[in-house]
Amino acid sequence: MEKLWAGRQSAALDSTADEFNSSIAVDSRMFRQDIKGSMAHAAMLSKQKIISDTDADAIIDGLGGILHDIESGALTIDPKAEDIHSFIEAELTKRIGDAGKKLHTARSRNDQVALDTKLYLKNEAAEITDLTKSLIKAITQKAEEYKTVIMPGYTHLQRAQPILFSHHILAYAAMLLRDIDRLADWQNRSDVSPIGCCALAGTTYDTDRKFEASVLGFSAVTMNSIDGVSDRDFCIELMSDIAILMMHLSRFSEELILWSSWEFKFIELSDAYTTGSSIMPQKKNSDMAELVRGKTGRVYGDLIALLTTLKGLPLAYNKDMQEDKECVFDAVDTVKMCLKVFAPMIDTMTVLADNMKKAASNGFINATDLADYLTKKGMPFRTAYKLTGQLVAKCIADGCTLETLPLEKYKALSPLFEDDIYDEIDLVNCVKKRISEGGTSPESVNKQIETINKLISEG
């Protein structure tokens, strides 16, 4: 296949260099976007009388045929082509003759590849958003199913205060909602078309960039033609958003891994999302969650790779920028696969409520409530804090809990203690009393679920 840039060189490109230079293995996935962009470009050239209506019609019809044949399997993308852009243009010229050679008028591969990549990523970001919403729905449904289950809340991986399991997992729904907001912000900032910037300086033809952008679904065109072809902020920003999303999935995965261990046994993951051991028949490994945790580092690497590639590039386009797509496509593919497995993994997860409640009953996680009890009766908080610590130490020495410590031993430390102390430190009551907005009370959890469901349905 003749290169689009043939003419200047007198000798053929070395075969190894040709393979090294080729990007078809990576960018062939953008054939739909390339054809869509070329159709819009032909329509603009015709509108501006740069090419005839007859040639434009032939180009658009020919491109439609190529799209149909690729999608049906009748046409195979040539792996020896330099890139998807040259393959489609060469195939078009083969089908319709010289009219196909007019398609690239007032266009460069520099603005063409930026356009294709942006169009492709806009579609992918929308799919990532939908998949994230599906995961949020799975979380809220699980929270609704186990809404009243009490578990220990942790800080420093130490039992801290009693909380509702539903409240805990809804924290991840809150994180994922922010991820959706970030993706929406990205969509807004990426809604700018680079086509018409040409190689870097624009063109001498009387083009209509805004018409072409509108046909392609963009609301605006890039202000500066040099920036239009050299900008890859939209790749980096999307990868940054994906990296944050993966970090949230990784944190959730870590908890699922811990909770499904025998040491915690708070949950059991479905056999459909776990594996066994090749040598230890008793094992049930949370491999899907572990893979999500592991693939997070891979996505971080994609982001750092592209940042490093771009950090020293002068304006405008440089061949280094061909490396953008492999990084961003890998990040997109990875997060999509993780989300596709995560939602059903949560949906099929079993919560072992009794084990959670048992764990919450140990570790003196109602100690803060005991201190609050004294504070509400007039004792300064720091005094109440110290006295509660002394009571915990006494319970540990006596082998009992705050709930089973006799009242006389309470009164020995403070006359403020009455029979109502036991109701005050009951775990169910401890949770109910967390009435501050956003807290772990059942009313707060209900409000959170309602708010999340509303946001997802409206979005």
Res 262: pLDDT = 94
Architecture of the domain made up of 367-425: Orthogonal Bundle (1.10)
* pLDDT score for 5: 41
The superfamily in CATH containing domain 15-105 is Fumarase/aspartase (N-terminal domain) (1.10.275.10)
Assess whether pLDDT exceeds 90 at residue 7. no
Catalytic-role residue among 10, 156, 278, 436: 156
Fold of the domain spanning 110-191+223-358: Fumarase C; Chain A, domain 2 (1.20.200)
The answer to whether 110-191+223-358 and 367-425 have equal CATH topology is no
Q: Taking residues 321-337, what's their average pLDDT?
A: 97
The confidence score (pLDDT) of residue 3 equals 53
pLDDT in tens, 205-248: 999 999 999 999 999 999 999 999 999 999 999 999 999 999 99
**pLDDT > 60? residue 6:** no
- For the chain, give the percent of residues with pLDDT over 90: 92
Average of per-residue pLDDT values in the chain: 95
User: Which entry of 52, 219, 261, 277 is annotated as an active-site residue?
Assistant: 277
Question: Does position 124 have pLDDT exceeding 50, yes or no?
Answer: yes
Residue 298 pLDDT > 90:
yes
Is 68 known to be catalytic?
no
pTM: 0.93
Active site (annotated) includes residue 277: yes
Over range 69-78, report the average pLDDT.
Answer: 98
- For the cut 80, the answer to whether the pLDDT of residue 254 exceeds it is yes
Q: Which of 5-9, 92-96, 132-136, 448-452 has the lowest mean pLDDT?
A: 5-9
Q: Domain extents for the chain? A: 15-105, 110-191+223-358, 367-425
What SS3 string covers the chain? CCCCCCCCCCCCCCHHHHHHHCCHHHHHHHHHHHHHHHHHHHHHHHHCCCCCHHHHHHHHHHHHHHHHHHHHCCCCCCCCCCCHHHHHHHHHHHHHHHHHHHCCCCCCHHHHHHHHHHHHHHHHHHHHHHHHHHHHHHHHHHHHHCCCCEEEEEECCEEEEEEEHHHHHHHHHHHHHHHHHHHHHHHHHCCEECCCCCCCCCCCCCCCHHHHHHHCCCCEECCCHHHHHHCCHHHHHHHHHHHHHHHHHHHHHHHHHHHCCCCCCCEECCHHHCECCCCCCCCCECHHHHHHHHHHHHHHHHHHHHHHHHCCCCCCCCHHHHHHHHHHHHHHHHHHHHHHHHHHHHHCCEECHHHHHHHHCCCCCCHHHHHHHHHHCCCCHHHHHHHHHHHHHHHHHHCCCCCCCCHHHHHHHCCCCCCCHHHHCCHHHHHHCCCCCCCCCHHHHHHHHHHHHHHHHHC
